[in-house]
Amino acid sequence: MIPRPGLPDPRYFSELLFQPRRLACEGCGAVADWKPEVRGAGLVGAVLGGGEDPFFQQPLWLQTRCGGHILWAFNEEHVDELSAYVGAQLRERGGVRPTMSMFARLPAWMKRADNRSEVLAGLETLRELAKRMKPADRSDAAHGRGDRPRAHRSMYFRGGAYEP
């Protein structure tokens, strides 16, 4: 999934939730486009979090079972960041808004010291999975489960009053 070609760079991070996207499969050649829904004077954007792509709601490739939960990542860089955080002996809060960071939003089971070795092993599984691209290599956890509630989506108001 990539931003659609030819679009200007976003001015704000939050614009990424509303920027049109293109999904292109190198394996079969399938292509799909996504754009935000227009609702009144607002745009309805992507929903972050969970084991699905936030735009196309397809299961993420990098998923594995870990400690009775599903451990997932978007890409190898995400795996690296999670590994560094989970493996750290001392975790310091940083930045002006620590509650907005990815790490502040991690589930408690991932942060517990007694789960550290199991989570790091799961992340290593994801790292290895990222190197394999055949559909047969997909983890059994990386299939749609229909268990992710989508109670709300991101909203951006373009001005004027919002009418549902």
SS (H, E, C) 121-140: HHHHHHHHHCCCCCHHHCCC
- Compute the average pLDDT of residues 131-141: 69
Domain limits at 98?
62-137
Model pLDDT for residues 17-75, shown as the tens digit of each residue: 888 888 887 777 888 899 888 888 888 888 777 888 888 888 888 999 999 999 999 89
Question: Residue 162 falls within a domain, yes or no?
Answer: no
pTM, whole model, 2 decimals?
A: 0.70
Bigger pLDDT: 113 vs 139: 113
Q: Give residue 162's pLDDT.
A: 40
Return the SS3 of 113: helix
Is residue 101 classed as helix, strand or coil in its secondary structure? coil
pLDDT of residue 159: 52
Cβ atoms of 138 and 86 closer than 8 Å: no
Confidence band (pLDDT; 50, 70, 90) for 141? low
Alpha-carbon distance of 50 to 19, in angstroms, equals 20
> Does 121 fall in a domain?
yes
Q: Are residues 34 and 85 in the same domain?
A: no
Instruction: Yes or no: say if 2 and 19 are a contact pair by the CB < 8 Å rule.
Output: no
Distance CA 120, CA 150 (A): 29
pLDDT in the model for residue 69 = 94
Do 71 and 44 sit in the same domain of this protein?
no
Considering the domain architecture, whether residues 98 and 126 belong to the same structural domain is answered as yes
Helix (H) or strand (E) holding 63: strand 62-66
Q: Are residues 72 and 133 located together in one domain of the fold? A: yes
Asked if 31 and 107 touch (Cβ cutoff 8 Å), the reply is: no
Domain shared by 105 and 82, yes or no: yes
Whether 39 and 74 share a structural domain: no
Examine residue 53 and state whether it is found in any structural domain, yes or no.
no
Q: Is residue 56, in this structure, part of any structural domain at all?
A: no
Could you tell me the pLDDT band of residue 95, with boundaries at 50, 70 and 90? low
9 is written with which tokens? 């760079």
Same domain, 27 and 73: no
Looking at the structure, tell me whether residues 66 and 41 fall in a common domain. no
The CA distance from 164 to 151, in Å, is 15
Separation between Cα atoms, residue 148 and residue 55, nearest integer Å: 14
Residue 88 · residue 106 · CB < 8 Å:
no
The SS3 of residue 110 is helix
The tally of domains found in the chain comes to 2
Residue 10 included in any domain: yes
Question: Does residue 139 or residue 120 have the better pLDDT?
Answer: 120
Identity of the residue numbered 59: P
* Separation between Cα atoms, residue 146 and residue 143, nearest integer Å: 9
12 and 39 inside one domain: yes
Q: Are residues 129 and 88 in the same domain?
A: yes
